[in-house]
Amino acid sequence: MPATGMLMDGTPPPASPPSAPVTVAAVEEQIEVSTNEVETGRVRISKHVTERHETVDVPLLHEEVEIRRVPVNRAVDAPVPVRHEGDVTIVPVFEEVLVLSKQLVLKEELHISRRRTEVRDPQEVVLRSERVEITRTPTDRFAK
């Protein structure tokens, strides 16, 4: 710190008339910051593909239809519509028979039922998987 009455550089202030304004220099420091890219190491990536055989068991549906003829031989006044009783679909079959008068006779019904079965069908399939290895290699500058 300079002595009282001295300038920053240690010299006495110049003589000036008492009414003259005093000029004081203001100093400001500035900084500029930047970065540089530096290689710190390298990586090697290896990918290995392996195959394995695996058996998969896939269910396959199989459906069969059974038709059973059921004789009815009954006179009806009007056609009977197709109907369902549980899993069975009943389709009426009509025949006109000549009598002294014409009469609608239910001759038979077709009882149709479904039976569903599941069959296993194992298949051999090939599945692939990949494994990745990453190896870091430091440069000489950052090796420890």
Residue 66 lies in a domain: yes
pLDDT of residue 96: 87
Residue 95 lies in a domain: yes
pLDDT of residue 22: 76
Distance CA 41, CA 95 (A): 94
Closest CA to 141 of 37, 44, 45: 37
Question: For the chain, where are the E strands, in sequence order?
Answer: 41-76, 83-85, 88-98, 102-138
Structural domain boundaries, residue 59: 42-142
pLDDT of residue 104: 87
| Half-sphere exposure in the Cβ direction for 57 (13 Å, CA) | 3
Is the separation of the CB atoms in 113 and 87 below 8 Å? yes
pLDDT of residue 102: 74
Residue 1 lies in a domain: no
Grouped pLDDT means (10 residues each) for the chain, 144 residues: 65 66 81 86 88 91 91 91 92 86 86 89 89 83 58
Total domains present in the chain? 1
